Amino acid sequence: MSTHHPTAVLPAQILVVDDEPDLRTLYELTLLREGYRVEAAGSLSEAREHLDAGRFDAVITDMRLPDGLGMEIIQRIQKDQRSERCVVMTAYGSAENAVEALKAGAFDYLTKPVDLKQFRAVVASAVQRQPQAAVPAAKAAHPAAVPSVGEGRGPTPSTTLGDRALERLVGESEPMRLIKSHIAKVARGMAPVLVRGESGTGKELVARAVHACSQRSDGPFVAVNCGAIPENLLEAEFFGARKGSYTGSAADRDGYFQAARGGTLFLDEIGDLPLAMQSKLLRAIQERSVRPIGSTQEDAVDVRIVSATHKDLHAEVQASRFRQDLFYRLNVIEISVPPLRDRREDLPALCNALLARIAQDGGMPVPRLTSDVIARLADHPLEGNVRELENLLHRAVALNDGDELHLDFMSNSAAPFEAAALPLTAAEAVTPARERPTARPAMPSDLQSYLDQHEREVLVRALQESGFNRTAAAARLGLSLRQIRYRIARLGISTPHGDDGGVGTLDDAG
């Protein structure tokens, strides 16, 4: 009796397009050794013939060909809605070509001269989890190490994670539907993503959704607040450090790039990064390698960059506060998160989701949300977006003493304006408001000194009221720790802790 043997799954098929015979042969042999099926073409017209004749899992093409540009292959694949993922090879220094290719729909890019280790990693990433792709024959002996593809046994872990992440973006308004659709599209490739939006709109949730919907969802998601790291520690935090490379470095340590290897590195508030660090970040992104402090060798890193900012980076570039080349490298794909005022129809769903979480965290029943509360929220400015809404609901739940939710807007709106007012002099304090002179103050003869004086007064007051805890004072004024340190040093404000430009003093521990 014959025994039924399951049909062997064919290895992934790749088309290599390069007009230089030696390089074409090198790429072909490298891929054949990895177990892939490979076809090669030396021109754009030959590549078209191969594409007309069959389907591939990935296409690797040089940007410049004798009879055209590799960009035309990308455009053809996009136009025909084919499933091939395209990797573009560009000459060293041709960053604009790489960015243009990624915007056109390329999965990833490689810079010539191509590093073969990186070449193999990018190709493996390109053919991973494609419906037509399969495990290379050379890896078939280790099935446990390779995820199954296209078996039709329900949703993959990646799909489930992606669905959950998109569900956390609460709302079915038109702007939110567009964002979710955009995330699903951009997650398929490796192109850097810049998430723009006001504070409190949920930029990190969008970044996490991009990661969860991508093939990198099994890898780490490392979130970094660029504005919260002291400037003199930035390089060590990002790239790592070797033992003894600086005072207190007792062991080798990885940086954020190494920690995010195989996953996504999320650079929040990228606009706060100092210029000196911007150039180092640009090189790390371009070269896909970092050099830890104290090391003579570079570490190859495989990360996808997603960044976010509430600033207008176009204006920052014009003001020379942000590098133009880094901006174009990060802003390959842009996702703009709308403020809450532009999607008020999502308020009921947002409130229900936030209330459920707040009640669960507090171990209390969910209060009933009435139409009157929704109407009052719809009329409220909500300039702090979802973060302000959450704050309002937190306080309402804490103070609630019945089944229905009641809101108190007064304590949220009046205090900031009162706190921002300049302190009264002793004479003004004892004079009734109606008797105080209403004449405007005299025009200052030295505007910078005038502004510095007022800034100094506000900083000193904040420091005194926080017991000279700079972290608490910075949070109260909406500054980062690095920003308040800079202002203290620039204005010559003395504190009980002595040198305010240093790092790691006790008042920063809280």
pLDDT for 94 equals: 64
Average pLDDT over residues 469-497: 80
pLDDT for res 421: 45
Residue of 226 and 115 predicted with greater confidence: 226
Q: Are 148 and 139 in contact (CB under 8 A)?
A: no
Facing residues of 84 across strands? none
What is the average pLDDT score of the chain? 81
Q: What is the pLDDT of residue 56?
A: 94
CA–CA gap between residue 146 and residue 25 (Å, rounded): 27
Task: Encode pLDDT of 246-263 as tens digits.
Answer: 777 788 999 999 999 999
Strands 58-62 and 85-91: parallel
**CA-closest candidate to residue 161, choices 219, 114, 116, 107:** 219
| pLDDT average, residue stretch 428-454 | 64
Write the CB contacts of 211 (distance below 8 Å, at least 6 apart in sequence): 165, 187, 217, 221, 263, 264, 266, 304, 306
- Residue 505 parent element (H or E): none
State the pLDDT at residue 504. Answer: 38
SS (H, E, C) 91-152: ECCCHHHHHHHHHHCCCEEEEECCCHHHHHHHHHHHHCCCCCCCCCHHHCCCHHHCCCCCCC
Question: Mind listing the pLDDT tens digit for each residue in 261-273?
Answer: 999 999 999 999 9
pLDDT for 287 = 84
Section 372-394 average pLDDT: 89
Q: How far apart are the first and last CA of the chain?
A: 76
pLDDT value at residue 168? 92
Cα torsion angle, 130, 134, 139, 144, sign: positive
pLDDT of residue 135: 41
| pTM metric for this prediction | 0.67
SS3 state of residue 199: coil
Q: Can you spell out the DSSP letters for 3-55?
A: PP-PPPPPPPEEEEE-S-HHHHHHHHHHHHHTT-EEEEESSHHHHHHHHHH--
* Neighbouring-strand partners of residue 305: 265
Residue 54 to residue 244: CA distance in whole angstroms: 56
How many whole angstroms separate alpha carbon 102 and alpha carbon 87?
9
- Its sign, for the CA torsion 109, 115, 117, 123, is positive
- What mean pLDDT is predicted for residues 365-374? 88
Q: Which of 109-118, 306-315, 338-347 has the lowest mean pLDDT?
A: 109-118
- What's the pLDDT score for residue 261? 92
Quick one: pLDDT band at residue 362, thresholds 50, 70, 90?
confident
pLDDT of residue 487: 83
Q: Tell me, what amino acid is at 503?
A: V
Say whether pLDDT at 408 is over 90.
Answer: no
Looking at residue 364, what is its pLDDT? Answer: 83
pLDDT of 8 reads 57
Per-residue pLDDT of 137-183, as tens digits, reads 444 443 333 333 333 334 444 447 888 999 999 999 999 999 999 99
Distance in angstroms (rounded) separating the CA atoms of residues 424 and 427 = 8
Angstrom CA distances, 506 to 267, 481, 487, stand at 27, 13, 19
Res 407: pLDDT: 78
Nearest to 65 by CA among 48, 82, 85: 48
Q: Give the per-residue pLDDT at 506.
A: 36
What is the DSSP pairing of strand 304-309 with strand 299-300? unpaired
Lowest mean pLDDT among 121-135, 218-232, 284-298, 430-444: 430-444
Alpha-carbon gap, residue 470 to 463, rounded angstroms: 7
Identity of the residue numbered 418: E
User: What pLDDT is stored for residue 169 in this prediction?
Assistant: 94
287/334: higher pLDDT: 334
pLDDT tens by residue, 68-103: 899 999 999 988 989 899 999 987 556 677 788 888
Contact 136, 11 (CB under 8 A): yes
